């Protein structure tokens, strides 16, 4: 879609270029940005010209650049010990063509903060932490599960930009299970549940059926009663892709399945 209110496009080459003027917004893949009118914007700042390496191995695990595309993210499972089934199933939850995979970015999907955000599901399930650059030159880190606070709502302050996501080696290589539900075979995700071993414990993430991510932690395999009690406080999302009571029932069923699978 043409954005007819945009009068400027600035390529960013340094952090200084990320100081946004009134009416400007950052541009990464743009797969959502160019899908709707953006009448409140007059300028875009292109992050892709910063040349960030899609992902980099670190002493503790891996750092995934915010501009890493979905296609590039799948390369992470080649030789890094990552769970290729989990990465691919989250990527496939986009239900989009490979052209979108080559354009849409991990950071863009997270910062858009839609309940069905597939990268929110993946990174929440892996306990990823976001590195956030502040406009004054400072930076902070925040768990992705806390960064997304609601539908198209995050903790990002004006001018803040997500630089990357850190995932530990333990989370990257841990045994994990994935389940997804939708009203139709090619419909938007209405519930996504991921379980992951965490030492002797178990981590369960719930997304898509809720307005924001939820992470449940258990010291071992939870009993049915423990799992049910942990899910009780959650408020379930309501939109045309699923009623709250249906989303709750499906999520509870999927959560029990992934826990049993990961316990193995």
What does the pLDDT read at residue 80?
66
**How many domains does the structure of the chain reveal?**
3
**Domain shared by 258 and 187, yes or no:** yes
3-state helix, strand, coil in the chain (%, to 5): 30, 30, 40
Give the residue among 185, 187, 140 at the shortest CA–CA distance from 166. 140
**Domain shared by 166 and 182, yes or no:** no
What does the pLDDT read at residue 250?
98
* CA 217-221-224 angle, 5° bins: 95
Give the residue among 32, 71, 67, 33 at the shortest CA–CA distance from 50. 67
Tokens of 237: 């999302």
Query: What whole-number distance in Å separates Cα of residue 93 and Cα of residue 159?
Result: 30
Instruction: Give me the tens of pLDDT residue by residue for the chain, a chain 264 residues long.
Output: 578 888 889 999 999 999 998 988 898 988 878 877 888 888 899 999 999 999 999 999 999 999 999 999 988 876 666 777 899 999 888 877 777 888 999 999 999 999 999 999 999 999 999 999 999 999 999 999 999 999 999 999 999 999 999 999 999 999 999 999 999 878 889 999 999 999 999 999 999 999 999 999 999 999 999 999 999 999 999 999 999 999 999 999 999 999 999 987
**Domain shared by 120 and 228, yes or no:** no
Kindly report the pTM of this predicted structure.
0.94
**Domain shared by 116 and 147, yes or no:** yes
Q: Which of 152, 171, 190 is the last residue of a domain?
A: 171
User: 40 lies in which domain range?
Assistant: 8-45
What does the pLDDT read at residue 78?
62
**Domain shared by 90 and 145, yes or no:** yes
Give the residue among 198, 209, 218 at the shortest CA–CA distance from 254. 209
* CA 260-213-155 angle, 5° bins: 155
What does the pLDDT read at residue 172?
92
Tokens of 14: 């340094």
**Domain shared by 180 and 251, yes or no:** yes
What does the pLDDT read at residue 180?
96
Q: Are the C-beta atoms of 238 and 246 separated by less than 8 Å?
A: no
């Amino acid at each position: 879609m043409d954005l007819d209110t945009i009068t400027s496009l600035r390529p960013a080459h340094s952090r200084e270029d990320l100081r946004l003027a009134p009416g400007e917004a950052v541009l990464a893949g743009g797969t959502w940005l160019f899908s709707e009118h953006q009448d409140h914007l007059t300028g875009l700042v292109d992050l892709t010209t910063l040349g960030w390496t899609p992902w980099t191995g670190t002493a503790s695990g891996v750092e995934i650049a915010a501009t890493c595309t979905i296609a590039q993210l799948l390369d992470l499972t080649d030789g890094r010990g990552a769970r290729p089934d989990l990465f691919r199933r989250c990527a496939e939850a986009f239900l989009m063509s490979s052209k979108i995979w080559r354009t849409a970015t991990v950071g863009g999907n997270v910062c858009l903060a839609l309940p069905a955000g597939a990268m929110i599901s993946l990174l929440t399930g892996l306990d990823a932490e976001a590195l956030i650059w502040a406009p004054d030159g400072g930076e902070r880190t925040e768990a992705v599960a806390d960064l997304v606070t609601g539908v198209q709502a995050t903790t990002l302050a004006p001018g803040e930009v997500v630089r990357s996501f850190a995932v530990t080696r333990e989370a990257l290589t841990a045994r994990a299970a994935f389940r997804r539900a939708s009203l139709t075979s090619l419909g938007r995700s209405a519930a996504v549940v991921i379980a992951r071993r965490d030492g002797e414990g178990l981590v369960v993430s719930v997304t898509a059926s809720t307005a924001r991510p939820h992470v449940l932690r258990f010291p071992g395999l939870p009993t049915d009663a423990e799992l049910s009690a942990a899910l009780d406080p959650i408020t379930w999302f309501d939109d045309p892709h699923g009623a709250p009571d249906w989303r709750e029932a499906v999520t509870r069923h999927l959560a029990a399945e992934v826990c049993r699978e990961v316990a193995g």
